[in-house]
Amino acid sequence: MKDVIVIGGGAAGWSAALAATQAGLSVLLLEKLAESGGSSALSGGCLAFAGTDLQAAQGVDDSAGLLLRDLCEVGQHVNDEALVRAYCEAQLATYDWLKAAGVGFSPVIETASGQSVPRVHTVDPADMVRTLRAAAEASGRVEYRPGVAAQALVQDADGRVVGVRPGSGEDLFGARAVIIASGGFARNPDLLERYAPQYAEAVFVAGAGSQGDGLLMAEALGADLRDMAYVKGTFGKHPTDETNDHSLQAVYKGAIAVNQDGRRFVNESISYKLLGDAVMAQPWHTGYQIMDQGIFDTGDDRVRILDFGRRLEEGLFYVADSLEALAARIEIDPDVLVDTVTRYNGYVDAGHDPEFSRTHLVHHHGALRRIETAPFYAYPSTAVVFGTYCGLRIDNAARVLRSDGSAIAGLYAAGEVTGGFHGAAYMTGSALGKAVVFGRLAGMAAAAQ
């Protein structure tokens, strides 16, 4: 018997395993697929940390307090502040812990959804998961079993979770804890229909294992759920390109978003989750990010969501020497698009956007830019559901809670399977950040009990 059983081999699962082994515990990690990595490995590799050495080196003044304020604002205060506070208090130590484990960070720090200052710390996400796994396995205290799916949780006579029931074979037991890190449910049509019917026409990109099985197993034991009404897609996915899963966030560099009628439909600086909601309400569930050469040149090829040059090479941008010609390419009335851009430029000059109250490039950061220098670019954009951002209610020690607030003894959860942290929307880097921070906290909590 091991001390801890971890269900799921993504960033949260391997973080939990590493933290538990560092505390001297033995771990059995179950991964139902042949390879670990999960949705984490498919992600954009962004982590939201505040107060890091990388930020300091670039003169970025950030803090746990500012991160807390931003997370609560972008979550529209629907999120569990205690959980957000736990993240903010643990994130800087987790950043250092990741580096100590061998995770490499890009020196580039960018600003994206929901951030008042640049705090997107970028990693190769698949490599990060591999690094966490290697560090955990180097302890000699981890047994890794790929291809083993947990079907149910096993309780003792007192109701304490003491193990899991695999699809075949005997029950597996963990003396101290079972940590669910099995991901979300973006690959489960039944759960999506139940919780996110408004996204029926959206693009779904998630790990094949994101079936919601961990959520269902815990729910069967009376676990409470949080934020289920806030499943959202990310704005910026090219709707007809099937080779590139990542979104593009030119709006945060100054582009405007227009619909197929050529009209703006949203304040482009808000969270890309809310932009996702907005674009799904437009004709054909599609919009276009419109920018000029000046904005295009601010792209950054070291950050996937801002790598405009690569998308241009992939043929995903429409480009024209005039707004009228660009409108023709995307089958929008040229007069309408020209009028939209002209009025927007007027708002930039006046410092007041009476239509959508846009004041910054992203959240509270960056001055707006005019769209005026040819050539002009259009990037077709719809919403893509990368993750479900809701699920099991946990406390700040990652214990799974019932609706009355009591903890289910022996049961912990971390990563995408959990709810309460994001609230109504989402900050770039907070999903992968949540995975590593709460994965680490869960492993530490299992050791501390």
Stretch 248-277 residues interacting with another protein (CB under 8 A): 260
CA dist., res. 449 & res. 184, Å (int): 27
Task: Decide if residue 286 touches another protein (CB under 8 A).
Answer: yes
Smaller CB separation from another protein, 329 or 352: 329
Q: Kindly tell me which residue out of 219, 241, 300, 395 binds another protein, with binding defined by CB under 8 A.
A: 241
- Can residue 35 be called a binding residue for another protein (CB under 8 A)? no
Cβ-contact 156, 189 below 8 angstroms: no
Quick one: 152 or 208, whose CB is closer to another protein?
Answer: 208
Which value, to the nearest 10 degrees, does the dihedral of the CA atoms of residues 118, 132, 127, 207 take? Answer: -90
329 in contact with another protein (CB under 8 A): yes
Chosen residue from 77, 93, 100, 284 binding another protein by CB under 8 A: 284
Q: Tokens 């250092």 identify what position?
A: 96
Among 133, 285, 304, 365, binds another protein (CB under 8 A): 285
Structure tokens at 352: 């007041």
Size of the site for another protein (CB under 8 A): 18
Nearer to another protein, 296 or 317 (CB): 317
Among 58, 76, 151, 240, binds another protein (CB under 8 A): 240
Sign of CA dihedral 144, 147, 153, 155: negative
Tokens of 226: 């949080």
Among 33, 60, 68, 316, binds another protein (CB under 8 A): 316
Residue closer to another protein, measured from CB, 260 or 293: 260
Q: How far is the CB of 290 from another protein (least distance, A)?
A: 14
For position 198 contacting another protein by CB under 8 A, the verdict is: no
Applying the rule CB under 8 A, the residues between 341 and 400 that interact with another protein are 380, 382
Q: Hey, which residues between 398 and 427 contact another protein (CB under 8 A)? A: none
Q: Least distance in Å: CB of 334 to another protein?
A: 13
Q: Does 289 bind another protein (CB under 8 A)?
A: no
Residue 55 engages another protein in binding (rule: CB under 8 A):
no
Measured CA distances, 424 to 67, 231, 332 (Å): 16, 8, 32
CB of 243 to another protein, least distance (A): 10
Q: Candidates 217, 330, 424, 425: give the one binding another protein (CB under 8 A).
A: 330
Q: Select from 72-80, 178-186, 280-288, 388-396 the region that touches another protein (CB under 8 A).
A: 280-288
331 binds another protein (CB under 8 A): yes
Does 283 bind another protein (CB under 8 A)? Our answer is yes
Q: How far is CA 147 from CA 3, 21, 166, 208, in A?
A: 21, 22, 10, 13
202-205's contacts with Cβ under 8 Å and 24+ in sequence apart are: 202/233, 202/276, 202/280, 202/285, 202/382, 202/383, 202/384, 202/385, 203/233, 203/237, 203/239, 203/382, 203/383, 203/384, 203/385, 204/384, 204/385, 205/42, 205/237, 205/245, 205/384, 205/385, 205/386
Check residue 106 for interaction with another protein (CB under 8 A). Answer: no
9/145 Cα distance (integer angstroms): 10
Is 94 a binder of another protein (CB under 8 A)?
no
* 205 is a site residue for another protein (CB under 8 A): no
Residue with tokens 């950061």: 365
- What number of residues does the chain have? 449
Per CB under 8 A, the segment of 66-74, 278-286, 385-393, 436-444 that binds another protein is 278-286
Complex with another protein: residue 238 or 393, whichever CB lies closer? 238
Cα gap 41→180, rounded to integer Å: 18
Compute the least distance from the CB of residue 391 to another protein, in Å.
Answer: 30
Contacting positions for another protein (CB under 8 A): 238-241, 260, 283-286, 315-316, 318, 328-331, 380, 382
